[in-house]
Amino acid sequence: MAKKQIGSKVLTVSEIAEKAGVSRNKVWSYIRRNKIKPVSKKSGQFKFDSKIVLEIEDEQQKKRIEKNKKENNAGISVTVLEIFKKQLEKKDQQIKDQAEIIDFLKGEVLRARLDSQNKEKLLEDAWKKVEAISEKDLNRDEEKRHWWQFWN
């Protein structure tokens, strides 16, 4: 209904600002930015087509929509960041648990190596004893030979 009332009138900058709900500076900025020529200029007062009011209102509406989108995106971003933070905390805990498991398994591997080395050493010692005993037996057999068994 407001659009029909504006119609094809000519308005001053102050009237445009009042109808569009913005400051005079914003109206002048819009006029300069879009290089809009005045319809008339009487005694230092510029008058413009009333369509400018609708254009400025549309521009203001677009700005409000963009602002709302940014605010919504900011809210979403905070939510997403919270989710990521929780996931990161969970992953940190998983890494900590896995590090503990790795440390435990390293200890087990080290113990197994030491046990293996000890068993290997015991086996080697036992083998040396067996060889020593075998050598003694061979030496005894040679000592027990009689003089006539020398050539055998």
pLDDT at 20: 87
Report percent pLDDT > 90 for the chain.
30
pLDDT at 102: 97
Reading phi first (left if > 0) and then psi (alpha if -120 to 50, else beta), residue 22 is in: beta
When pLDDT is averaged across residues 128-151 and rounded to a whole number, the result is 71
DSSP alpha helix (H) spans, the chain: 2-6, 13-20, 24-33, 51-143
Report percent pLDDT > 70 for the chain.
84
Residue 30 CA to residue 10 CA, distance in Å, equals 16
Instruction: Please report where in the chains the tokens 């020529």 appear, as a residue.
Output: 37
Amino acid, res. 129: K
Strands 40-42 and 45-49: antiparallel
Contact criterion met (CB below 8 Å) for 49 and 8: yes
Q: What is the CATH number of domain 2-59?
A: 1.10.1660.10
Contacts of 42 (CB under 8 A, 6+ apart): none
Q: What is the mean pLDDT of the chain?
A: 84
| Encoded tokens for 1 | 């209904």
Q: For the chain, how long is the longest CA-to-CA vector?
A: 156
Q: Would you tell me how many other CB atoms lie within 10 Å of the CB of residue 4?
A: 6
Task: Report residue 47's pLDDT band, with 50, 70 and 90 as the boundaries.
Answer: confident
pLDDT at 141: 61
* pTM summary value: 0.41
pLDDT value at 139 more than 90: no
pLDDT of 71-97, one tens digit each?
Answer: 777 777 788 888 999 999 999 999 999
When pLDDT is averaged across residues 88-110 and rounded to a whole number, the result is 96
Pick the more confident residue, 62 or 140. 62
